Structure 1
Amino acid sequence: MTFANIALLAAAFTTALIAGLFYAYSCSVNGALGRLPDAGYLAAMQAINREILNPLFYMSFMGTLILLPLSTWLHYSHPASLRFYFLLAATLVYTVGTFGVTMAGNVPLNNALDSFNLQTSAEELNRQRALFEKPWNKLHGIRTFFNAIALILVLLACIVKQDAIKAE
């Protein structure tokens, strides 16, 4: 097995880990949290947002951001192969649609929530939840969708032949 194929396998693995995390969160956690009262919802999201910042999460979330471009570069040939184009597309989709949306959207919302003092009135709790929940869930849906697309592209790269595309 070549280094390029090992990098491809690692990129597929980390992309799948994050896609699975986001998908599972969408299918279970968001629905359960949505049923909580305001104070419980905000406290749970604060705890989750703090807990997710751990080495295992960073390994897969940031690992994908490193491994996809590395694998793309390693699979470049002249003329380029279909595998290269699938990986290039996966890299762009993940970088913009998953990582970019997370950093530009979800993280600022998480940071604002983290600094919110839960020891306040029911009115303020309700206001903070309204500012956080719908925008965060919308952004989470966007990044989940794009991560799934990136995963499909990586899986296609794994199964397509490495032969270069020949101009006709």
Structure 2
Amino acid sequence: MNWLSIAQLVAALGCALIAGTFFAFSTFVMQSLASRPPVEGMAAMQAINQIILRSAFLSVFLGTALLCAALAVYALIARDAHATRIVAASFFYVVGTLGVTMWANVPRNNALDRADPVARESVGLWQRYVREWTLWNHVRTIAATISTALFIGWP
């Protein structure tokens, strides 16, 4: 196994870990938080938003994006036989997860973090947040899953 194969394996594992995390949020975490009274769900999500920034998640999330970018550049420069697949995998991860996160999820997280969970107007913010944040999280889940599949050589 050469270094490129190892780097692709590490990228695939990073993409898979992130896809799994996003999948969990899309399929049951957000539904669980939304099922609680708004003040509870909102406070819990605010805590998640703070803790995730100090967790291993952030290192895996950003490290995978850097590895994807490096692999894409290498594949293009070296004219690797699998360049199209590597560039596509990297594109889906960098744009579909990191890009969507920065463009869609982080601004919603910031707005939620500034809100007071007990304030009356926060109920509408929370309901809109759950709907919109989850929609964009579905996009991130799909993108990270596609990246994983492409890095492992499918199709």
Partner in structure 2 of residue 70 of structure 1: 70
Deviation, 1:55, is 4.3
Say if 2:68 and 2:94, in contact at 8 Å, map to a contact too. no
Structure having the higher helix fraction is: 2
**What pairs with 1:77-116 in structure 2 (closer than 5 Å)?**
77-78=78-79, 80-81=80-81, 83-116=82-115
Say if 1:106 and 1:136, in contact at 8 Å, map to a contact too. yes
Give the Cα–Cα distance (whole angstroms) in 2 for the partners of residues 30 and 126 of structure 1.
15
Give the Cα–Cα distance (whole angstroms) in 2 for the partners of residues 27 and 55 of structure 1.
21
Say if 1:89 and 1:150, in contact at 8 Å, map to a contact too. yes
Provide the TM-score with structure 1 as the length reference. Answer: 0.83
Partner in structure 2 of residue 37 of structure 1: 37
**How many residues align structurally?**
154
Alpha carbons of structure 1 residues 93 and 71: separation in structure 2 relative to 1, 3 Å:
same
Give the Cα–Cα distance (whole angstroms) in 1 for the partners of residues 153 and 103 of structure 2.
28
Provide the TM-score with structure 2 as the length reference. Answer: 0.89
Q: Which has the larger radius of gyration?
A: 1
Deviations 1:57-110 (A, max 9, x none): 1221101111112223344544x41x2211100111111111111100000000
Deviation, 1:114, is 0.5
Deviations 1:4-51 (A, max 9, x none): 222112111111110111112222212211211111111111111111
Give the Cα–Cα distance (whole angstroms) in 2 for the partners of residues 2 and 35 of structure 1.
49
Give the Cα–Cα distance (whole angstroms) in 2 for the partners of residues 13 and 48 of structure 1.
23
Alpha carbons of structure 1 residues 55 and 127: separation in structure 2 relative to 1, 3 Å:
closer
Provide the identity percentage. Answer: 36
Query: RMSD value over aligned CA atoms?
Result: 1.8
Say if 1:4 and 1:74, in contact at 8 Å, map to a contact too. no
Name the SS for the 1:156 alignment partner: coil
Q: Which amino acid aligns with 1:58?
A: L
Deviation, 1:150, is 1.2
Name the SS for the 2:36 alignment partner: coil
Give the Cα–Cα distance (whole angstroms) in 1 for the partners of residues 113 and 44 of structure 2.
11
Which of 140, 145, 155 pairs up with 1:148? 145
Give the Cα–Cα distance (whole angstroms) in 2 for the partners of residues 117 and 126 of structure 1.
10
Say if 2:100 and 2:136, in contact at 8 Å, map to a contact too. yes
Q: Which runs of 5+ in 1 are unaligned?
A: 161-168
Partner in structure 2 of residue 164 of structure 1: none
